[in-house]
Amino acid sequence: MLDLATTEGKIVSAALRLAAEQPWQDITLRQIASAAELSLAELSEHFTSKSEILSAFLTSVDKEVLTNAPAPRDGETKRDALFEVIMARFDVLDPYKSALRSIANSGEFDISMLRPMMKSQHWMLEAAGVGTDGAKGTIKTAGLATVYAAAFRTWLDDDDPGMARTMAVLDRRLRRGEQAMSGIETVFDAAQRVKSMLRSGLSRSRRSADASAADQPDHDDPAPAEPAPST
């Protein structure tokens, strides 16, 4: 998955290799540069923090998931399609589980990681055929983030090759999310109907007001002069 022919790939690989061997919070950029057989100056041309390195890793994972995740099948529910995509992501992550466990246990979190993490949720939804446009899409993306986080924490400690615990948690969370989203969509649809009604009423009011204004005499025009009496 990581392209070790590129400098960025070498750096990301080195960082994950070190994370599998020692606590992530103890690892420095100089150590990562050394493990990648680069100088710190060379590393600085590509990354300025460990968070940036992790962001590059997530991007490579997203690409691999989009390449290998099964496409939604005819008649398959969105929930089932999303389940398959997320499990495909865990397959991609499996070689890096020890490193990811170290990173997750470090307690370190950079706010800049939110964007790449949410982008991953966005692409998993799209891979499952779930649209992410508009306000609904934003809510779906945020909702999937909570579902994925619960499944990810379980996966980190799930050493069963069949990932039974992970699949059970993921299935349960997705079902809850589906129910919650159904309620949210009902509220959105109702709000949209109210919005349409208000627009329609406003439009009729404007037309009525315009018509009334057209029927009123223009008081600014001078009154017509009365004819002079004949002599």
Model pLDDT for residues 80-97, shown as the tens digit of each residue: 999 999 999 999 999 999
Structure confidence at residue 130 (pLDDT): 93
pLDDT tens per residue across span 157-171: 999 999 999 999 999
Q: What percent of the chain has pLDDT over 90?
A: 71
pLDDT of residue 110: 83
Give 138 or 180, the one with higher predicted confidence. 138
Start-to-end CA distance of the chain, whole Å, equals 109
Domain boundaries, the chain: 52-189
The answer to whether the beta carbons of residues 150 and 169 sit under 8 Å apart is: yes
List pLDDT tens digits, range 190-209: 555 665 666 766 666 666 66
pLDDT of residue 27: 97
Q: What is the mean pLDDT of the chain?
A: 87
For residue 106, what pLDDT is reported? 92
* Residue range 37-82, pLDDT digits in tens: 999 999 999 999 999 999 999 999 999 999 999 999 999 999 999 9
In this prediction, residue 49 carries a pLDDT of: 96
Kindly report the CA angle at 91 between 181 and 172, in degrees rounded to 5?
30
Angle separating helix axes 50-68 and 7-19, nearest 10 degrees: 100
Q: Say if residue 231's pLDDT is above 50.
A: no
Q: Which amino acid is at 59?
A: T
